[in-house]
Every structure is written in C-alpha cells, then in structure tokens.
Amino acid sequence: MQTPSHRCRWASLPSPSVREAASMYGTAVAVFLVILVAALQGSAPPESPFPYRIPLDPEGALELSWNVSYSQEAVHFQLLARRLRAGLLFGMSDRGELENADLVVLWTDGDSAYFADAWSDRKGQVHLDAQQDYQLLQAQRTPEGLALLFKRPFATCDPKDYLIEDGTVHLVYGILAEPFQSLEAINTSGLQTGLQRVQLLKPDVPTPAVPSDTRTMEIRAPDVLIPDRETTYWCYITELPQDFSRHHIVMYEPVITAGNEALVHHMEVFQCAAEFDSFPHFSGRCDSKMKPDRLKYCRHVLAAWALGAKAFYYPEEAGVVFGGPGSSRFLRLEVHYHNPLHLKDRRDSSGIRLYYTATLRRFDAGIMELGLVYTPVMAVPPRESSFVLTGYCTDKCTQLALPRSGIHIFASQLHTHLAGRKVVTVLVRDGREREIVNRDNHYSPHFQEIRTLKKVVSVHPGDVLITSCTYNTQDREQATVGGLGTEDEMCVNYVHYYPRTELELCKSAVDAGFLQKYFHLVNGFNSQDVCTCPQASVPEQFASVPWNSFNRDVLQALYGFAPISMHCNKSSAVRFQGQWNLQPLPEIISTLEEPTPQCPAIQCPSPAGPTVVSIAGSKS
C-alpha cells in the first residue's frame, strides 16, 4: 500500500515575497493553500465534534479545536488556518519554546505540499521524526480557511516526541511565509511564532444536572476600554442585592464579548471579607494607584476561568454558599487582558455567569489551602534549574480536623509565583503514596485554572497530603524566599472539596530552629561570614549565604530531614488546638510508580516520511 500522492496546483499570488519564492521554483504559489477534501489514511475521525476550541495567535488566525479519547489514548486536533501563507508549524514543547519542540509541519517546496511529524533541536532546526506519530486524517477547504484534521496518541515512545499528560500543555505555532525546499531547511528562529497554554486533556466527567429553579447572575466588566498594553489586570467591584439570601452556586461559565476571544486571558470572581460592612466601588487597573486599599480583603475565590476552559460544574451533592448571613455582599471581578499586539479601541464586557439555586444541596463546598506557609524559612537558592520545596498536611492535622467519613476533593487550583515550574499533590495513607490529587508537570504561573479532577479524591482522617513545587531561579542572583511579594515564592494547592469543614489551611514550613542550625553550620564549614546574629532577619541571613554546591545541597538535605512547623488552621489566624511545632516529617515507605507510557501498537503501513498533501487550485 502506498499513500496517495497527488501533485498540487497553486493559484493567486498575494504578496511580493511569496511571488518571488514561487518564481524561484517556477510554479504558482498560493497564499491560501486551497486543499480539497483528501482523506489520506487511517481511521475516520470520531463521530463527536470538537468540544474544545482556542485561538492560538493574538489575531485568532489560527484556531485549534480538539477532543480527547481516553479509550484510544489519543487526541484529535482540528487546526483551522484562516489566512495561510506557505505553511505552518504546530506542536507542543516543555514551556512554550520553539526549540526542542514536537511539531507537525505543513509546508510547500513551491510545487507540492507536505505534512510531516517533526521536531526542532535546541537551535530551532527542524528535523523529520523517525516515527510519524501525527496522523493526518483530512485536509479540507472550508469557507473560513484550511482545516487540517489530525490525530496523535498521548504517548508515542518516540524519544523526540512530547508526552501529552494532565495539566498545562504549551502549544506552539509558527507561520511559514515562503516555500522551503525541504523540511530540514526550516529553522524556527526566523519565523513568526507564538505559544498558547491550555489544558489539553480535559477531564471526561459527566455533567451534573442543574436544578430547575436555577437562576443566573452575570458578573461582567462594565464596558471596559481594553488598554493597548500587553498585560492588564482589570479590577471591578460589584455587589449582591440587599438581603440576598443563602444560595448555592452550582455552576458557572465564561461570558466573552464577541471578538475578544484572544484578548481575555483569564477571569476570577472573589468574595470580599465578611468582617467589613461595605467596600468602595471601583473599576480600573488592579495596579492603579487609585485602587482603594480595602480591596485587598476581596481574596476568597468564588469562580475562576482561564483560556480554553469551559463551564465549571459543582458535584451534584454540593454547592458554594452564595449570599445569606455571614458572607459579604461584595464581589471583585478580575480580568486579565493579554494584548501583545497593542490593539486599540477594543471594548469589553466579559465576565462570569454564575448559576445558583435557593434549593440548597446536601453539602456546602469548601476550599482548603495545602502546601507551604508564606514564610521566608522556605527558600530556593539562586541559579537553580529545578529546585523542589515541599509542604505537608500531616496525619495529625487531618485526624483532628476532618470528619470521620472524610472529605471529597473534586477540583484543584495550583498556585506559585513567577519561579514555579511544576506542582504536584500526593495523597499518602499508612506511609504509602496512594494517588495523585493533582499534578502539573508544565505548570505556569501565567495559567492558573480551577481544574475539575478526573477522579474525586477522598481524604480520610489520618491521611497525609504532600504538595511539592519545582522552581527555576536561573535568572536570579539572590536566594528566593517564601512570602507574599511577587519576587517571593509560594507553593499552594487550593483544593475544592465537600463537605466543608473548619480546616481552611493545612500547610507547613521547616522548623525555624533547625534553619538556624543550617546557618550556623554553613558559617562553620565555609569559614565565611554568614550572619547568624539574632537581629538579622531570615531573608537577610539567606542573602548572606555564599551560594555554592555544598551550601545548596545541605539546604536541600535540611528540607528533606528537619522537623516542620505545621499550620493546621481554621482560618489563617486561628489554629486547631495542639502541638504543631517540631513535628516529624511524614515517613514515606512506598512511592507511586511512574506509569510506563503505553506505546501504541504500530499501525501498518506507517509512513516513513512526509505525506504529500493533495491540493487543488480553486480559491475560496
């Protein structure tokens, strides 16, 4: 069997550069690669359409739709290219770079058009993959542009391929403006490129039913003029009606102003603190000097949406308390506008539509904070590519604070500041790692969604929850300490669960006395001046450590050995009763095995190289 190999005909010469290129090859080259339906090989696309869609570039010229088949362990992609020039690159990479990326390439040599599974090396040079794992299923001309339908298994066992796993995926693209004689002639460094973060492997959970008496409320930006700067966080204060009684929020969904799909990056609705009777109204940039100081008390997350996410549903048994006594009427909407092209005169009324019911569900849903206490005793040395800090929620705390029947975690939002690269929370029972609560191996602080878990995780009294964050400080000269500042770091997993308990915070930090032993030891070993005087603050002490491999390794050893101080708190200020200092680190006697990726069975015949894409000359 051979793959079909039709020659192409090109039409319509739009731009001088492309025209020149075309004449080089003596053939007419099209801006629009007008491709007729060409079912090339392999299985037909599945029945279902593509439930997920995201613009890749700021102009929305490239749009990706996809679905996920957990039974096939594969993703079907439909890539719509609205104004295609001579081809494109699309793929994935660790953190959105175009180097070391796993790519599909659609290109033309000025004569034929080709589709291939490829990869780029650390210099951006594109190479053909030995194994062709992206399978082109259809190339179709549509009124909107060229639609490419292709499929890829989660894991391919080709060492040059990206492993599609849970959490954030950094999609990358590149625009080919001219023909290339061969795939190997392409280097990503000279192209117009970009990245888009997305949760590719959306959970495949049934949508809970919504009660018939459900009502909606839209918390939307008040016709904001989007600033013509790359990054804007817009803050808007609104309020519930007077005497708004107790309800349950059962779902919410984004409301995006038409045309702004590529500009609205993420949105969050926060509830203000109940301790204040009123909050000033405000609509403006969150970093504005005019922003009332009191708005910093509007930090309790009620709803969060990020690019690529769809509606968020609470489990059928639970809802979030909304209104009624003991909760503030004031809400803060925060919208992150991402406008790298500095578009002007764009107005926006995007926001979140809350669905709530007066028929209270059986359980209130709650949010619990796992990870590290915001304290400088947890620090990352400078110039580290992947330094791990770990926070514990100990058996002693869960024993005391959780109901006997346990709690059920159904969603999770991971949080670090700018140095965060990975976050994971593992459930440990009887010293054995049992399951992953949530993991993101490609975490980005610029993409913090509330994610519904694929599987509800039940936590019993006596269980341990261990949250580890991996940081990159290669661009820093000083240690990065834990804290609230943007330049400080955090390691947090906000878990959404039911039934709500009093436990709001279950976090840890290394014992401060043992950290002083470390400074003392570093001082003695290195015969250099590390300030261990009691009047120096911990950040000052860290700033005076002469960083070398020994001091770094010993800090790491300390964090892996020294006892911890626990925050097992009802609210950020009120602890459960008990002795929480000098607690031993939870002992782990067995760890979860990394699942070996299932290599897909080899499909024969499998193309050894690029596929020729059949193209006809008509223009849309």
Whole-number Cα distances in Å, 200 to 57, 65, 251, 269, 308: 17, 10, 21, 24, 9
How many other CB atoms are there within 10 angstroms of residue 609's CB atom?
Answer: 14
Q: How far from 49 is each of 56, 65, 253, 313, CA to CA, in Å?
A: 19, 9, 20, 21
Neighbours of 243 (CB within 10 A): 8
Which of 6, 127, 233, 446 is catalytic? The answer is 233
Q: Which is nearer to a copy of itself, 296 or 517 (CB)?
A: 517
Q: From the CB of 76, what's the least distance to a copy of itself, in Å?
A: 22
Residue 211 CB neighbour total at 10 angstroms: 16
| CA atoms lying within 13 Å on the CB side of residue 240 | 25
Active site residue 162: no
Residue 112 CB, shortest distance to a copy of itself, in Å, is 22
Q: How far is the CB of 302 from a copy of itself (least distance, A)?
A: 42
Residues that bind a copy of itself in the complex, under the rule CB under 8 A:
130-131, 157-160, 517, 520-521, 524-525, 548-550, 553-554, 556-558, 560-562, 596-602, 604-606, 608
Indicate which residue of 6, 300, 415, 460 is catalytic: 415
In sequence order, what are the residues at sequence separation of 6 or more whose Cβ sits closer than 8 angstroms to the Cβ of residue 501? 366, 368, 401, 402, 403, 407
User: Nearest distance from residue 133's CB to a copy of itself, in Å?
Assistant: 10
Closest CB to a copy of itself among 357 and 390?
Answer: 390
Q: Which is nearer to a copy of itself, 238 or 390 (CB)?
A: 390
The span from the CA of 398 to the CA of 506, in Å, is: 8
- The phi, psi pair for 526, rounded to 5°, reads -90, -10
Q: Which is nearer to a copy of itself, 453 or 522 (CB)?
A: 522
> Which DSSP string do the residues of 87-136 spell out, in sequence order?
EEEEEEESSS-STT-EEEEEEE-SS-EEEEEEEE-TT-BEEE-SS--SEE
The SS3 call for residue 324 is coil
Token duo for residue 608: 């050894």
CB atoms within 10 A of CB 511: 18
Please identify, using beta-carbon distances, which residue of 16 and 595 lies nearer to a copy of itself. Answer: 595
The candidate with the shortest Cα–Cα distance to 105, out of 20, 24, 18, 180, is 180
Tell me the closest approach of the beta carbon of residue 176 to a copy of itself, in angstroms.
Answer: 26
For residue 106, the minimal CB distance to a copy of itself (Å) is 23
> Which of residues 445 and 563 has its CB atom nearest to a copy of itself in the complex?
563
CA gap 272, 298 in Å, rounded? 4
Active-site residue flag, 415: yes
Catalytically annotated residues = 233, 415
